[in-house]
Amino acid sequence: MKYIDEFQDPDLARRLLDDIHSTVTRPWALMEVCGGQTHTIIRHGIDQLLPDLVELIHGPGCPVCVTPLEVIDKALEIASRPDVIFCSFGDMLRVPGTGRDLFQVRSEGGDVRVVYSPLDALRIAQQNPRHEVVFFGIGFETTAPPNAMTVYQAKKLGIRNFSLLVSHVRVPPAIEAIMQSPSCRVQAFLAAGHVCSVMGTGEYPELAARHRVPIVVTGFEPLDILEGVRRAVHQLERGEHTVDNAYARAVRPEGNPAALAMLGDVFEVTDRAWRGIGVIPDSGWRLSARYRDFDAEHRFSVTGINTREPAECRSGEVLQGLLKPHECEAFGTTCTPRNPLGATMVSSEGACAAYYLYRRLEITPTRTARTPATAPTARTARTAERTATADAPLEASPVV
C-alpha cells in the first residue's frame, strides 16, 4: 500500500491547499466528472478544505446512476423470463426500476446472478446451452472494452446463447451537453483519469477551446484531486483554457490502442438517454451491425415499456450538478441506501450514497467569501466543527 499512501500524504496535501488558497482571488465553480472522484472528495472532506471561493460541483460520472430507467425496466423484463439467466455486476441489483429491482425479480424466481466479469457470463452461457444468458453491459469508456471483448469472443467461439444488454455512455458529449445548458455554472472540469487511460485526451482540446473551460485530467486519490483543482484554479486565474494531464502515470494522449481498436470493431456511436438528464446526441455506444445478433434488445424485442420515476426523487438535478444530495427533501428520510428512490443512492459511485455514507446529512450554511490569507484558520475551524458534529465516527479522516 506504500504507493497509494504516497497520494494521501497530509503534508503534501497541506502544501497543495496552501497553494490553492494563495492563488484564488474570485469565485470559481469546478465539476469533477467521475463519481469515484466525488466519493474521494466527500470521504476526505476536500470540498470543505478548499477556499470558500472554490466550489466543487458533482457531475454525472456514475455509470449506474445514468443508466436510463427504460433500460432498467427492459433488464427487469428480460430477467423475468423463465429461459433466461441474467448476469450483472452487483451494484445494479438494487437500482430501482418502475416499481421493482433485480433483487425482487430474483426473489420471484428469476435466475439473476452476480458476476465479476463479463467473461464469467460467457462461461455461464457455455455451461448452460439451453438457456439464454444475458449480461447487463453498462458504464463509461472504462467498462466498454471488456464488454466488447466478450462479445467478440462469443462470436469467435460460436456461442449463440449469449447476448449483451448495452447501456454504454461517453463522457465528452456529456461535457458538451452540460456546457450548453442555460443553467450551467461550470467553469472548469476535472476529467476522469480512467476514462482517458482508455480513450486518450484527443476529444478534449476542442471542448476546452470552444467553451473556454480548463479541463484537467485527474486521478482518484486525495492528492490527485487537490492537484487537479490546483491546476484548474491556476488556469482560471490566468484566463487560460487548455487540457492538462495531471494523471500522466496512467494516461497517455493516444489512450490504449488495443482497447480503441476493439471498441471500433464491436461498437458504433449512437444517441443515448441518460437517467435524469435526457437524450444526449452521440453520447453512447451500441453493438455494430457485425455483432447485432448479440444485442439483447434485438433478440428479446422488449417493447411496451412504460417508465415512471418517483415524483419525490430529485436525482436528475443531482446528476446535472444543480442540487447537492442533502438539499433533496427525501435524502436520508424516505430515500436511504436500504430503500433508495434513485440510483444515486444505490451506486458505490453515486453522489447521494457518498453524502449518506460519510455523514454529510445536513445542509451546510452558506459560506462567506474570505481572503486567502485567512484560509488556514477558517479551514481548521471548519474541520473541527465537522468532527464535533458528526453523527458517527468515520472510517477515514480528512487528508489534512
Please write the tens of the pLDDT for every residue from 292-334.
999 999 999 887 677 777 888 898 889 888 889 999 999 999 9
Q: Which three cell numbers stand for residue 357?
A: 455514507
Confidence of residue 145 (pLDDT cuts 50, 70, 90): very high
Are 305 and 77 in contact, with CB atoms under 8 Å apart? yes
As a whole number, mean pLDDT of residues 361-378 equals 42
As a whole number, mean pLDDT of residues 222-244 equals 97
pLDDT value at 43 more than 90: yes
Secondary structure letter of residue 140 according to DSSP: S
More confident residue, 204 or 339: 204
Distance CA 34, CA 350 (A): 9
pLDDT value at 3 more than 70: no
Which pLDDT score is estimated for 296? 96
Please write the tens of the pLDDT for every residue from 254-289.
999 999 999 999 999 999 999 878 899 999 999 999
Give the residue from 103, 110, 96, 164 showing the smallest Cα distance to 307.
96
As a whole number, mean pLDDT of residues 239-253 equals 97
pLDDT value at 222 more than 80: yes
Please write the tens of the pLDDT for every residue from 376-393.
333 333 333 333 333 333
Which pLDDT score is estimated for 399? 42
Cell 434485438, located at residue = 298
In the sheet with 188-192, reading across from the earlier edge strand, the strands are 54-61, 28-34, 188-192, 215-218, 243-245
pLDDT value at 400 more than 50: no
Which pLDDT score is estimated for 215? 98
Distance CA 176, CA 61 (A): 14
Secondary structure letter of residue 393 according to DSSP: -
Confidence of residue 2 (pLDDT cuts 50, 70, 90): low
Distance CA 20, CA 228 (A): 11
Are 79 and 73 in contact, with CB atoms under 8 Å apart? no
Percentage of residues in the chain having pLDDT higher than 90: 72
Angle subtended at Cα 129 by Cα 116 and Cα 73, rounded to the nearest 5 degrees: 55
Distance CA 314, CA 333 (A): 13
Please write the tens of the pLDDT for every residue from 66-124.
998 999 999 999 999 999 999 999 989 989 888 899 999 999 999 999 999 999 999 99
Which pLDDT score is estimated for 91? 87
Per DSSP bridges, beta strands 278-287 and 84-88 are unpaired
Distance CA 155, CA 253 (A): 31
Which pLDDT score is estimated for 348? 83
As a whole number, mean pLDDT of residues 240-262 equals 97
Which pLDDT score is estimated for 286? 96
Question: Mean pLDDT score of the chain, rounded to an integer?
Answer: 88
Length of the chain equals 400
Percentage of residues in the chain having pLDDT higher than 70: 89
Question: How many helices and strands, by DSSP H and E, does the chain display?
Answer: 18, 11
Confidence of residue 360 (pLDDT cuts 50, 70, 90): confident
CA atoms within 13 A of residue 13's CA, in its CB half-sphere: 21
Which pLDDT score is estimated for 308? 78
Which pLDDT score is estimated for 321? 85
Q: What is the pTM of this model?
A: 0.85
More confident residue, 347 or 112: 112
Indicate the helix (H) or strand (E) that contains 274.
strand 267-274
Which pLDDT score is estimated for 371? 35
Which pLDDT score is estimated for 391? 34
